Structure 1
Amino acid sequence: MAPQKILLIDQDPWVLCSLASILERDGYLVAGAAHAEEAILSLHESSFDLVVMDLAAKGVSELDLLSQILMRHPSLPVMILTAMVTHAALEEALKKGAVDYLIKPVEPAQILYRIKKLLTN
């Protein structure tokens, strides 16, 4: 079976690098995007099994990128991984179609567990 492919969207390069490293060590193929335009381009050029995104992506308002992703790829699961967000924003993200969320900082084992759970369902 081919490795599953995950798109990470976060404006913090350190988060992108460290999370990509964790996921790659676990056997996933990972692409990273630091802003909305880069994420949309990646989704246009390649197919992914999961998107893990921060709600505070550069280039769009809080939930616009999530809406754009799900409008173009309605069956693609999207997990929110964020630090600076209100409970109302998380609730809205889930209503718009996000399948799960984690609040930063997260332990590697925690995010790996949640990702495996999402990708096996």
Structure 2
Amino acid sequence: MEISVGGTYRVSLDALKGFPWDRYVRFAFLFGSATSGGSAGDLDIAISDVGLEALGELLAELAKRLSLLEDYIDLLIVNERTPCPLVLEALRGVPLYVADWDEVYRYFNICQDQQIDSRKLALLETALESIWRG
């Protein structure tokens, strides 16, 4: 599969999967418009937590290997501070590299539980509001 990026560049999914992710991260997922098979404004890639220096090196090497400007690559660091809706979207994407699926499942399950709890809480708040208003 090839992805059209920015209307000018073409990136192979095989090239993304063949990138040496293990030098930098424990997982990487392609998500967003690039997964639809059509044209994408940029590549959205979710990665495990990484230090600032390693992040810069990763972005530079990825751009070089893909012959793509860094401006067309958005790296999303997935950690405890990443909003759950974004984590769920990203981890439902295309796995490019996963060293430890347990880590991926942990983030996914925590965020899925949080989303379920949020819906339940909203239902409870709505029910309590209707009781209070009589």
Q: TM-score, normalised by structure 2?
A: 0.31
Larger radius of gyration: 2
Please state which structure has a larger fraction of its residues in strand.
Answer: 2
Q: TM-score, normalised by structure 1?
A: 0.33
